[in-house]
Chains A and B, each alone.
Chain A
Amino acid sequence: MTVQQTALSIAYLVTAVLFILGLKFLSSPKTARRGNILAMVGMVIAVIATGFDTQIVSWTDIAIGALIGAPIGLVSARLVKMTAMPQMVALFNGAGGGAAALVSSGEFLRLLNSGEAPTWYQMLPIVLSCIIGSISFSGSLVAFAKLQELMTGRPITYKGQQIVNGLVLLGIIALVVMLLSGNVTPAPFVGLIAAALLLGVLAVLPIGGADMPVVISLLNSFTGVAVAVTGFALNSTVLIISGTLVGASGTLLTTLMATAMNRSLANVLFGAFGAVRATEGGAAAAPGGGTVRSASVEDVATLLAYSRSVIIVPGYGMAVAQAQHAVRELAQNLEKRGVDVKFAIHPVAGRMPGHMNVLLAEANVPYEQLHEMDEINPQFESADVALVIGANDVTNPAARNVPNSPIYGMPILDVDKAKNVVVLKRSMNPGFAGIDNPLYENPKTIMLFGDAKDSVSKLAASSASA
């Protein structure tokens, strides 16, 4: 080992340590920012160190790539709306997966040109990284298109879908066997990448928009694993460690999200959840045949103003209506009147894990007011009002007591246990998952129909003046 190689290895070790410390600092909102900066420093160290690697003989292509990529990354990161964060993360994730597959392809090309026949254990990590990276790349693009509503968010299914996917998978396995058993030529390699890209698309198509938190987490872990495997191919411990950290994080978040919906991962991936759209009810007649009570802004404002404690349950509908700031204003006005205001955040509220927290943080809601499901659920009983803004399925009591409901068993926020329930909703249309919500027919529930931003702004105004 030369002095230079030793220095490089130590620099990469420092990077790995900084990544681990960075993630550790993410365990509290107080230190989270420091954590991100540590990780950034780690990345800079790794990049500078790599610059001294003797393998690099020309900087032209590195510079071209960096000069194209950096502005794209920076501008999109600056411009993206917080509501669009899931699709942004999906895109960056896809970029990482694609990069891993390309790096492995480059390594494959180098082995081909070296003249020596690569052994199977040289080929294995290259092949795996190409498959996983390509699936992550194309899968992320489809997830992006679904979240950005470039295509329907509903599951796309057709007869024999599983069989087609199974055949593509078999094709991939056959090509892998070919490549590992000594047939190291470009043709099966290109075929392998094409098949993996196809599988990524086919696998995400039947997954509904409501399940995107799970899919994004899973693809995140895929890219992590692809990077780790590339580390095996390039013999780079920093790639192995960093990729594995991401893989672990994605895996944990995936299981967490699936648990929060009481569904197995297999059910999320293959269940085509929400494919059948429930019949839409009219504005007045509830789907179940019961009646719903609707109220005016004034009624609700009075109810809120004379409550002692109010729990606000925000959903993605609030974010779509851009009502976060109005909600924060309402909360502040109520607090000034001495009302105890808390926010209840369901684990799958929003379109990715923890999305709702970010949206409320953007509206300057202090994070101390945000409470997780297990923490807030026992408090609904003593709350005077549960104010549901644009949330639907996560408040649906059918999850508790209707065994044949598609969401039966999913942990929900117990809003129906509050003394009064106020639901702000655009219309009686079912939510993202297309399931009716008996909460709306509950005698304790009053509905306030209309645009969430509009309604909340009016509520905030009345609560300030009353």
Chain B
Amino acid sequence: MELFLIQLTVFVLAVFVGFEIISKVPSMLHTPLMSATNAIHGIILVGAMLIAGAAAGGPVGRAIGIAAMVLATINVVGGFAVTERMLEMFKGKSGTRS
């Protein structure tokens, strides 16, 4: 229960931080924001590594681990790559890259 309370504290604080920083993002950048946050939830890759690396749970467990790894890697790699591709297009009047 003590552990749960610590987790809950972290969660609630993160909610406030999240709303605070996201509300500062201009609507111009909302698509890159969405794809960047998309890449960030790819942090589930960490969980996928733990599941796949534990090599427990027999063939079903292995299949679950590998599938989780595949999906999480697609999420992380694709998410960051596509965000980068979008952001490098945003240029100001001077033509300099952002």
Interface residues of A, Cβ cutoff 8 Å to B: 15, 19-20, 22-24, 26-33, 35-37, 39-40, 43, 46-47, 50-51, 53, 55-62, 64-66, 68-70, 72-74, 76-78, 80, 82, 85, 88-89, 91-93, 95-96, 98-100, 102-103, 105-107, 109-110, 113, 121, 216-217, 220, 223-224, 227-228, 230-232, 234-250, 252-253, 256, 345, 347, 350, 352-355, 357-358, 361-362, 364, 366-370, 372
Query: Which of chain B's residues have a CB closer than 8 A to the CB of A99?
Result: 42, 44-45, 47-48, 68, 71-72, 75
Interface hub of B18, B24, B39, B45 (most chain A Cβ within 10 A): B18
A224–B41 CB distance below 8 A: yes
A78, A230, A249 pick with most chain B CB within 10 angstroms: A249
B80-94 CB contact bits vs A (8 Å, 1 = yes)?
A: 111111111111110
Q: Contact at A368–B92, with CB atoms within 8 Å?
A: yes
Given A32-B98, A95-B74, check contact A239 B81 (CB 8 Å). no
Q: Which chain A positions have C-beta within 8 A of B11?
A: 228, 232, 240, 244
**A58 B45 Cβ-Cβ under 8 A:** no
Given A29-B28, A69-B69, A245-B18, CB of A22 within 8 Å of CB of B51:
no
When chains A and B are docked, how far (Å) is the Cα of A372 from the Cα of B27?
8
Residue ID in chain B nearest A12 by CB atoms: B46
- List, in ascending order, chain A residues with CB within 8 A of B23's CB: 252
Is the pair A96, B28 in contact by a Cβ cutoff of 8 Å?
no
B75 and A73 contacting across the interface, CB-CB below 8 Å: yes
Do the beta carbons of B40 and A39 come within 8 Å of each other? yes
Chain B positions within 8 Å of A362 at CB level: 89
Count chain A CB atoms within 10 A of each CB in B52, B66, B98 and give the residue with the most.
Answer: B52
Contact of B31 among A65, A74, A98, A357 (CB under 8 A): A357
Q: Which 8 A-B pairs have the closest CB atoms?
A: A65-B69, A69-B73, A248-B18, A354-B30, A73-B78, A56-B53, A73-B77, A106-B51
What 0/1 pattern do residues 15 to 56 of B give for CB contact below 8 A with A? 101110111111111111111111111111111111111111
Hey, which chain B residues are within 8 Å of A46, CB to CB? 43, 45-46
The distance from the CB of A42 to the nearest CB of chain B, in whole angstroms, is: 8
| Contact status B31-A113, CB under 8 Å | no
- Which residue of B21, B51, B64 is within 8 Å of A20 (Cβ)? B21
Q: Once bound together, how far apart are the Cα atoms of A248 and B87, in whole Å? A: 22
A26:B10 contact, CB within 8 angstroms: no
- Given A234-B50, A242-B41, A249-B22, A354–B32 Cβ distance below 8 Å? yes
Cross-chain contact A110 with B74 (CB below 8 angstroms): no
- The answer to whether A30 and B98 have CB atoms under 8 Å apart is yes
B4 cross-chain contacts in A, Cβ below 8 A: 121, 232
B14 touches A245 (CB 8 A): yes
Cross-chain contact B82 with A80 (CB below 8 angstroms): yes
Instruction: List A contacts of B95 (CB < 8 A).
Output: 366
Q: Please report the C-alpha to C-alpha distance between residue A230 and residue B74 in the assembled complex, in whole angstroms.
A: 18
28 contacts between A and B (CB under 8 A): A23-B40, A27-B25, A29-B28, A29-B87, A32-B29, A32-B90, A39-B40, A43-B43, A50-B50, A53-B49, A53-B50, A60-B55, A62-B65, A66-B73, A68-B70, A69-B69, A72-B73, A92-B42, A105-B64, A107-B51, A113-B57, A220-B34, A224-B41, A237-B7, A239-B46, A249-B34, A250-B34, A252-B19
